[in-house]
Structure 1
Amino acid sequence: MGTITIGISGWRYEPWRGAFYPPGLVQARELDYASRFLPTIEINGSFYSLQRPGSYAAWYAATPPGFVFAVKGNRFLTHMLKLRGIETPLANVLASGVFALREKLGPFLWQFPPQLRFDPDKVERFLSLLPRDTGQALAIARGHDDKMIGRSLLEIDAVRPLRHAIEIRHASFLDDAFIALLRKYNVALVVADTAGKFPDVEDVTADFVYVRLHGEHELYASGYEDESLERWARRIRAWSAGSQPEDARLVSPHAPAPARAGGRDVYCYFDNDIKVRAPFDAKRLMELLDLAWKPEA
């Protein structure tokens, strides 16, 4: 079996205060609290703007050993530039401080906008630019532009593998050619439950699986009852064991490459934050999978 890591998308939400976070907990301690409740969190702020090295260093310091961050790629590349001319913006993202997460740096999530259609050449160019380890990422980061001067981090503590996942939101990506490109570059297709609003497919395209649960009936709002969570637990067990669910919703007729002997790692993030369901749904799914998170500090 691969490693299964369950968590939430973001942690700074006003409705969570007094509901998930204890009354009176200061905002500066919210990440500390959330990271001891669950073992992984997606950083959402990096999607909206470039963060600073000091922020990443503070997030590293606030979380216990063994914790993992997923980093959401900046929307300037995906939503504004729509994958055109992204070499320097990608360097800026990598120079912005992500290396301060050190061993807690998990997968990068790249969310495509609903208006972005599948263009094989453009998509392959993007996939070919994504760094496969922190050494490659550092080399790319050194190509940042002048606006990063004085606010970049250009050193790594070790060369570690990097993983990337792509979340699609346009039906034109339901194409075997897209699945083949993801497999060529070992990039995961995000399994996204979006209450039927966006494509919902489960092709395994990498040596890991990335799941985002945005709400079963209402996007970003509705929770998951035990029956649904048990269904997701069965699917996660299958992916972790290196196989796939028998009723998997697939685009490609071609089977993925066999998993390595240890199975496939699975990352799963709940993004149904509006009604304060995400952290509790994540914890319940961990219970159904017999997972425990007991950080040392």
Structure 2
Amino acid sequence: MTGRIRVGIGGWVYEPWRGSFYPVGMRQKDELAYVGVQLTATEINATYYSSQKPATFAGWAQAVPDGFQFAVKASRFCTNRRVLAEAGESIQKFVHQGIVELGDRLGPILWQFMPTKRFDPDDFGAFLQLLPASVAGVALRHALEVRHESFDDPAFLALARDAGAAVVLADHDDYPAITGHDVGFSYSRLMRSREDEETGYTATDIAGWADRAKAQAAQGDAYLFYIGGAKVRNPAAARTTIMALEQQL
């Protein structure tokens, strides 16, 4: 493999995980550190809703071990708009809020679009030109999660490829499963975990996702996140996937 596989969940603050994933009695302020020991990545959800302070990002980075990375969800004010080409100011505010304080724990930025957002080649192309390649000398990687079937279009894939942005593969009942071109890393979001399955997904399904991640890692880093679905099961799904990958080494 030329890249590294990182497997994680969406966020780390979720009450039903207390006692099912987090040990009973664990202090909430210690939960991120526990995620850092058990998994290899997580998405930061808080940045989608509001800006954070540089010290907050620095604290998150200090809580997790070497090799762990955060995927940072971009602000909704960047993506939930009628004209994406007008998002420049919001994008600059987002990337300059202090994400560089994550240091080598900084993974891709996730740009998530509403299911109602349709593909407009000119507008989306203008949006991609607004995404900075770096901030404060730190290289940025961008992942695009589009949820409308109109994006299942070679023109969109070409725009993403030319911008060096990964297209998120969504495992979801309603969203299109779009596979983008190789841009040096891949990003998958798995959203069909089930409550009646102890590990969220069956052992066969998890083995399949692990195999897929290994194949993607031949081209670069591979990020795999279990989010949504039966959320209470997602840490177990991520941990089981990590163990499956370890057994294959």
1:91-124 superposed Cα distances (whole Å, 9 cap, x missing partner): 1111212111111111000011011110111111
Match of 1:14 in 2: 15
| Higher helix residue share | 2
Q: Which runs of 5+ in 2 are unaligned?
A: none
Amino acid at match of 1:165: A
SS at match of 1:277: helix
Residue 98 to residue 57, structure 1, CA distance change in 2 (3 Å): same
- Structure 1 position 174 matched with structure 2 position 127: no
- Structure 1 position 207 matched with structure 2 position 163: no
Match of 1:229 in 2: 206
CA contact (8 A) 1:78 1:111 kept: yes
1:46-68 superposed Cα distances (whole Å, 9 cap, x missing partner): 11111222211211121122221
Match of 2:33 in 1: 32
Match of 1:254 in 2: none
SS at match of 1:20: coil
Alpha-carbon offset, residue 202 of structure 1: 2.1
Match of 1:132 in 2: 133
Q: What's the RMSD between the two structures over aligned residues?
A: 2.0
Distance 2:194 2:112 in 1: 21
CA contact (8 A) 2:168 2:188 kept: yes
SS at match of 2:36: helix
CA contact (8 A) 2:193 2:233 kept: no
Residue 224 to residue 266, structure 1, CA distance change in 2 (3 Å): same
**What aligned pairs does 1:11-90 form with structure 2 within 5 A after superposition?**
11-80=12-81, 82-90=83-91
Q: Which moved more, 1:52-61 or 1:112-121?
A: 52-61
Q: Which runs of 5+ in 1 are unaligned?
A: 139-158, 242-262, 293-297
CA contact (8 A) 1:179 1:205 kept: no
Match of 1:163 in 2: 141
How high is the TM-score relative to the length of structure 1? 0.77
Distance 2:191 2:157 in 1: 22
| Higher strand residue share | 2
Q: Which structure has the greater CA radius of gyration?
A: 1
